[in-house]
Amino acid sequence: MTHTKVKICGLKTEATMEAALEAGANMIGLMFFPKSPRHVSLTEACKLADMARGKAEIVAVTVNMDLDGLSRIKELVGPDIIQLHGSEPPEACAAVKVMHDTKIMKAVAVSERADLEQGDYYAIVADWLLFDAKPPIGSELPGGNGVSYDWTLLKDLDLKKPFMLSGGLNPDNVVEAIRQSGAKAVDVSSGVEREPGVKDEKLIKAFMAAVRDADMSGS
């Protein structure tokens, strides 16, 4: 049986963190981006990270953050992975990886096949690639917009590094997304929310159940 990795991103409360962990999430994402409705303070993040430590990998999601900010997150929160979800070039990813002695996940915005070429450059320095949908015009958020793209673009993608499918996933479409993309890891944020920034425990559990059903059926 395959075992698709699942990242529940943008968690803000102890109740939803507990729901994600109980449902078997492999990674949990904590958002450090003030413009996002999923933003958490360092104090909140420390509490949530302590709940997850040893149970799931802790991912600190950042957007074009300076090195001082990243240092504070690394020191206080102690994430397993730092996710760079902005316009950080490969050399910046390499610098963060070396300076903080940490794994890096780099988000790549996708709307067409040509966008995947960025993955080749980032795969040299990143430990994970996250292929997310390009944000709608006018959106201030680089991710978590609830939009998707053609999942078949990722089929048979070979970057020599693991990649994660993100963008518009929810309990109703994740099985089809896995089937079409061949992804072995998926990321969800807005697809398990009642409203922007407010996660729903039932939707989290439904998402996890759908992924495990896909694993069982070999989708």
Write out pLDDT tens, residues 81-130: 999 999 999 999 999 999 999 999 999 999 889 989 889 999 999 999 99
pLDDT at 137 over 70: no
213 part of the active site: no
Q: Which two tokens stand for residue 15?
A: 């109740």
Q: Which two tokens stand for residue 80?
A: 């397993």
132 part of the active site: yes
Write out pLDDT tens, residues 151-195: 999 998 888 899 999 999 999 999 999 999 999 999 999 999 999
pLDDT at 219 over 60: no
Neighbours of 19 (CB within 10 A): 22
User: What is the predicted pLDDT for the residue at 75?
Assistant: 96
Q: Which CATH code for domain 5-217?
A: 3.20.20.70
Instruction: Spot the catalytic one: 93, 132, 156, 172.
Output: 132
pTM: 0.93
**Domain locations along the chain:** 5-217
User: What is the predicted pLDDT for the residue at 218?
Assistant: 72
| Alpha-carbon 87 to chain mean position | 16
182, 175 Cβ separation under 8 angstroms: no
Query: Who contacts 125 (Cβ-Cβ below 8 Å, separation ≥6)?
Result: 90, 93, 94, 97, 104, 106
pLDDT at 147 over 70: no
Neighbours of 20 (CB within 10 A): 31
User: What is the predicted pLDDT for the residue at 15?
Assistant: 97
- Cα dihedral 141, 142, 147, 150, rounded to 10, equals 170
Name the more confident of 2 and 69. Answer: 69
Write out pLDDT tens, residues 21-77: 999 999 999 999 999 999 999 999 999 999 999 999 999 999 999 989 999 999 999
